[in-house]
Amino acid sequence: NETAIEYWNQGGLITISAHLYNPARTNELGGLRDNDVDLNALLATNSETHVRWMHELDQLAEGLQQLKEAGVVVLWRPFHEMNGDWFWWCGKDPDTFIRLWRQMFDYFTRTKGLDNLLWVYSPNHGNRTAAYYPGDNYVDLIGLDAYTDYIDPSHIKGYAELARIDKPFGFAEFGPHAPSNPPGDFDYLRFLHGIKDYFPRTVFFMCWNGKWSLAQNTNVTEFLNDPWIV
């Protein structure tokens, strides 16, 4: 939070991408990539999983409240890549997922009073990008997560489906190369040109860190100074 507040005070925008503990686990933290979680158990008020889930939400809300008190607006991005199969919330029944998203939204917004959050819905590029959309009253921004050097519809799929939703669109998570072992030699002007040509509704982006990041690749100054980006 200290870093986020400092960056906000310098004029930055804050994104929090939440990789949450699996509350279905009884005796240890973690479980990010568990694949046997029943989301209904998180919502069943008489279950131990629900109790652990609410404790987790309370911990998150406490940190987000600190940011609210500091005047920080947060692009809050929970449950990202929900149409994939690699996190415990991924690939579930869309109706149940939507209920879970709305439960978090209602708890944070109405119970906790966190009005400093902009809710970002960001599936992975590919299939069913709009199938898990929680509804216009529960989302502020939409975006795709994509890891590729090739910024075009044959390599980044699902844009047309998502772009039909009347919300500001962006690349909520981007990285060149692939989800692992990037070489760090990507020309970020390729990203700019691809967005201009094929993803014109884009109004924001967030690049992943390490060798995917702006700091580790090439033509970044030219990219950021382009009038279209500005």
Mean pLDDT of the chain: 96
147 contacts 178 by C-beta, under 8 angstroms? yes
Cα→Cα distances 66→4, 89, 225, 226, Å: 11, 27, 33, 35
DSSP per-residue string spanning the chain: -HHHHHHHHTTPPEEEEE----TT-SS-S--TT-----HHHHH-TTSHHHHHHHHHHHHHHHHHHHHHHTT--EEEEESTTTTSSSSTTTT--HHHHHHHHHHHHHIIIIIS--TTEEEEE-PBSSS-SSTT---GGG-SEEEEEEE-S--STTTS--HHHHHTSSS-EEEEEEESS-SS---S--BHHHHHHHHHHH-TTEEEEEE-SGGGSGGGSBSHHHHHHSTTT-
C-alpha neighbours within 13 Å on the C-beta side of residue 106: 10
Confidence class of residue 145 from pLDDT cuts 50, 70 and 90? very high
Q: CA dihedral defined by 193, 197, 203, 204, rounded to 10 degrees?
A: -40
Indicate which residues carry an active-site annotation. 81, 173
Question: Which residues, 6 or more positions from 3, have their beta carbon under 8 angstroms from its beta carbon?
Answer: none
Rounded distance between C-alpha atoms, residue 77 and residue 95, angstroms: 19
pTM: 0.96
Mean pLDDT of the 165-175 span: 98
List pLDDT tens digits, range 105-144: 999 999 999 999 999 999 999 999 999 999 999 999 999 9
The confidence band for 221, taking pLDDT boundaries of 50, 70 and 90, is very high
